[in-house]
Protein backbone atom coordinates (compact mmCIF):
# COMPACT_ATOMS: atom_id res chain seq x y z
CA UNK A 1 0.00 0.00 0.00
CA UNK A 2 1.24 3.43 -0.85
CA UNK A 3 2.52 5.76 1.85
CA UNK A 4 0.71 9.05 1.94
CA UNK A 5 1.29 12.28 3.79
CA UNK A 6 -1.57 14.40 5.07
CA UNK A 7 -1.26 17.75 6.75
CA UNK A 8 -4.04 19.69 8.41
CA UNK A 9 -4.32 22.52 10.92
CA UNK A 10 -6.28 21.76 14.09
CA UNK A 11 -7.29 24.13 16.88
CA UNK A 12 -7.30 23.43 20.62
CA UNK A 13 -10.84 24.29 21.69
CA UNK A 14 -10.61 23.07 25.29
CA UNK A 15 -10.76 26.10 27.63
CA UNK A 16 -8.08 24.50 29.80
CA UNK A 17 -5.79 23.76 26.87
CA UNK A 18 -4.16 20.50 25.89
CA UNK A 19 -3.80 19.10 29.40
CA UNK A 20 -3.16 15.44 30.26
CA UNK A 21 -6.60 14.04 29.51
CA UNK A 22 -6.83 15.35 25.94
CA UNK A 23 -3.17 14.44 25.41
CA UNK A 24 -4.01 10.89 26.49
CA UNK A 25 -6.98 10.76 24.11
CA UNK A 26 -4.87 11.98 21.20
CA UNK A 27 -2.13 9.44 21.97
CA UNK A 28 -4.63 6.59 22.33
CA UNK A 29 -6.20 7.43 18.97
CA UNK A 30 -2.85 7.94 17.25
CA UNK A 31 -1.60 4.57 18.51
CA UNK A 32 -4.44 2.82 16.68
CA UNK A 33 -2.76 3.67 13.41
CA UNK A 34 0.45 2.49 11.87
CA UNK A 35 1.18 5.90 10.42
CA UNK A 36 3.61 8.28 12.03
CA UNK A 37 1.55 11.07 13.58
CA UNK A 38 3.02 14.40 14.58
CA UNK A 39 1.61 17.58 16.02
CA UNK A 40 3.60 20.76 15.96
CA UNK A 41 3.57 24.45 16.67
CA UNK A 42 6.36 26.85 15.80
CA UNK A 43 9.46 25.71 17.67
CA UNK A 44 8.00 22.49 19.11
CA UNK A 45 7.18 19.18 17.54
CA UNK A 46 5.65 16.15 19.25
CA UNK A 47 5.19 12.50 18.40
CA UNK A 48 1.41 12.26 18.87
CA UNK A 49 1.71 8.69 20.13
CA UNK A 50 3.55 9.94 23.24
CA UNK A 51 1.55 11.70 25.97
CA UNK A 52 4.79 13.09 27.34
CA UNK A 53 5.73 14.66 24.02
CA UNK A 54 2.22 16.08 23.50
CA UNK A 55 2.47 17.74 26.91
CA UNK A 56 5.60 19.57 25.81
CA UNK A 57 3.47 21.52 23.31
CA UNK A 58 1.92 23.41 26.23
CA UNK A 59 -0.95 24.21 23.87
CA UNK A 60 -3.37 26.64 25.48
CA UNK A 61 -6.95 27.28 24.36
CA UNK A 62 -7.00 28.58 20.82
CA UNK A 63 -3.57 27.26 19.80
CA UNK A 64 -3.36 26.16 16.19
CA UNK A 65 -1.37 22.98 15.71
CA UNK A 66 -0.23 21.34 12.52
CA UNK A 67 -1.26 17.71 12.35
CA UNK A 68 0.96 15.71 10.03
CA UNK A 69 0.36 12.05 9.32
CA UNK A 70 2.50 9.82 7.18
CA UNK A 71 1.87 6.18 6.39
CA UNK A 72 -0.36 3.69 4.67
CA UNK A 73 -3.39 4.47 6.86
CA UNK A 74 -2.75 8.22 6.94
CA UNK A 75 -6.06 9.21 5.36
CA UNK A 76 -8.07 7.47 8.05
CA UNK A 77 -5.77 8.61 10.85
CA UNK A 78 -5.87 12.29 9.91
CA UNK A 79 -9.64 12.21 9.75
CA UNK A 80 -10.00 10.51 13.15
CA UNK A 81 -7.64 12.92 14.83
CA UNK A 82 -9.12 16.01 13.19
CA UNK A 83 -12.58 14.97 14.43
CA UNK A 84 -11.16 14.51 17.93
CA UNK A 85 -9.98 18.14 17.95
CA UNK A 86 -13.12 19.38 16.18
CA UNK A 87 -15.34 17.72 18.79
CA UNK A 88 -13.21 19.19 21.60
CA UNK A 89 -12.25 15.65 22.63
CA UNK A 90 -15.76 14.29 22.52
CA UNK A 91 -17.47 17.14 24.38
CA UNK A 92 -18.80 19.17 21.44
CA UNK A 93 -20.96 18.01 18.54
CA UNK A 94 -19.31 17.86 15.15
CA UNK A 95 -21.33 19.21 12.26
CA UNK A 96 -21.10 17.01 9.18
CA UNK A 97 -18.30 18.22 6.93
CA UNK A 98 -17.49 21.00 9.37
CA UNK A 99 -13.83 20.38 8.83
CA UNK A 100 -12.64 20.45 5.25
CA UNK A 101 -11.45 17.08 4.11
CA UNK A 102 -7.69 16.90 4.12
CA UNK A 103 -5.97 16.24 0.86
CA UNK A 104 -2.69 14.36 0.53
CA UNK A 105 0.36 16.57 0.29
- Residues that bind other proteins in the complex, under the rule CB under 8 A: 15-21, 23-24, 27-28, 50-53, 55-60
Distance separating alpha carbons of residues 69 and 30, to the nearest angstrom: 9
Distance separating alpha carbons of residues 73 and 3, to the nearest angstrom: 8
Which lies closer to other proteins via its Cβ, residue 41 or residue 80?
41
CB of 40 to other proteins, least distance (A): 14
Q: Which residue(s) pair with 47 in the sheet? A: 38
Q: Which of 7, 13, 19, 32 is catalytic?
A: 19
* 19 a catalytic residue: yes
Q: Please answer whether residues 4 and 74 qualify as being in contact, where contact means their C-beta atoms are separated by less than 8 angstroms.
A: yes
Distance separating alpha carbons of residues 21 and 51, to the nearest angstrom: 9
Q: Please answer whether residues 26 and 81 qualify as being in contact, where contact means their C-beta atoms are separated by less than 8 angstroms.
A: yes
Which lies closer to other proteins via its Cβ, residue 12 or residue 67?
12
Which lies closer to other proteins via its Cβ, residue 26 or residue 69?
26
CB of 87 to other proteins, least distance (A): 17
CB of 46 to other proteins, least distance (A): 9
What number of other Cβ atoms are within 10 A of residue 95's Cβ? 8
* Catalytic positions, written as ranges: 19
Amino acid sequence: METQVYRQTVTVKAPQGLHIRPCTMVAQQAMKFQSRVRLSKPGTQADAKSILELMTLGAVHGTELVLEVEGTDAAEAVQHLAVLFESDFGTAPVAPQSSPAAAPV
